Amino acid sequence: MATSTTGNPDKNWIVCDNTTSSPFYGNCYTEWDNTTDGNRIKMQTSSNGGLSWGRARNTGDNATGLGGQPLVRPNGTVLVPMNNANQSQIRSFRSVDGGASWRATVLVSSVSRHTVAGGLRTSPLPSAEMDAAGTAYVVWQDCRFRSGCAANDIVMSKSTGETTWASVTRVPIDGTSSTVDHFIPGLGVDRSTSGASARIGLAHYYYPTAACSSTTCQLNVGFISSTNGGTSWSAATNVTGPMTLSWLANTSQGRMVGDYISTSVLPPTLGGRAWPTIAVATQPSGGVFNEAMHVPTGGLAIAGGSARASAVGVVVAGPAQAARRAPAVTRH
């Protein structure tokens, strides 16, 4: 396991270079932050499938931050989108030498934060993926497109080079005048596609009404997709919910379904569907929480028009006890 001999590793994320033509094919890279050093960003590299790891290295500007997600371009360059330490910016840094060194961070975008109601633990941590051509996609929760910053949208930026990023766009899950608050996104990109043909799946949590309380907030999981790199999007669907916040495990930072989620999109040769991993809770029984990690039964369709989704029901793991079958999918 890649860890530091001192400090406290937090929010690690691992990626491996699977491009056979890459000069660093087979390398694996893990990112984490050291909470005992002001959330200093650390990177480690393995060249033997994770049997051993090199020393922990800082970025070129000794950056601090949270939630970095390493991505490998086909040419072997590693890009790592991340949140800065006070969560006011999305930044990115890279390695061009197989993890021997790491460059200074560059700005992707500022972050506009709307605090999610009900004491639910959320933050604008990025979710990031790479397409076949080496374009990185990063999404996060952000309220810049809402009047008065009254609710979060899921927003996206794409890399235009290894150190440059396009302007932020809004994923049109619903209208900017809606009451819906969206947060904790999990982005997936079909790695066999790219550019104007990139197939994207995006899962996220949401409240139908942003202005709710710990007793009235209704937590749902939604999904939306694109078949043209995010130029246009399918109709949004509800994957599961609603969940009452009191059903969720409590922490020192609020009720929690996880700081982040992930979505994987398979190529058409393997069915072509999206597979988000999400926390689903039902009402506790006998004082025992009934919350577990699920994936959608049959996966979720990637569509350019109206998206089709399936029920959630495959238990992956549960922090308390196995959850019962989640509610069937409805549309919102």
Which CATH code for domain 9-331?
A: 2.120.10
Q: Confirm if 119 and 149 have CB atoms less than 8 A apart.
A: no
For residues 213, 216, 217, 221, the Cα torsion angle rounded to the nearest 10 degrees is 170
Boundaries of every domain in the chain:
9-331
Query: Residue 8 has what pLDDT?
Result: 84
Q: Confirm if 275 and 290 have CB atoms less than 8 A apart.
A: no
Provide the whole-model pTM.
0.91
Query: Residue 319 has what pLDDT?
Result: 41
**140 - beta bridge partners?**
155
Sequence-distant (6+) residues with CB within 8 A of 220 are: 205, 206, 207, 208, 238, 239, 240, 241, 242, 243, 332
Give dist(CA 228, CA 235) in Å, integer. Answer: 14
Give dist(CA 203, CA 132) in Å, integer. Answer: 21
Give dist(CA 106, CA 332) in Å, integer. Answer: 37
Query: Residue 7 has what pLDDT?
Result: 75
Q: Confirm if 290 and 282 have CB atoms less than 8 A apart.
A: yes
If the chain, 332 residues long, is cut into consecutive pieces of 10 residues, what is the mean pLDDT of each piece?
65 96 98 94 96 96 97 98 96 98 98 97 97 98 97 98 98 96 98 97 98 98 97 96 95 92 96 97 91 95 63 48 36 32
Give the DSSP per-residue string, 228-263: STTSS--B-EEEEEEEEGGGSPP-TT-B-S-S--EE
Give dist(CA 226, CA 154) in Å, integer. Answer: 14
Sequence-distant (6+) residues with CB within 8 A of 304 are: 225, 226, 227, 228, 232, 234
Query: Residue 241 has what pLDDT?
Result: 94
**238 - beta bridge partners?**
222, 330
Give dist(CA 293, CA 305) in Å, integer. Answer: 29
Query: Residue 10 has what pLDDT?
Result: 87
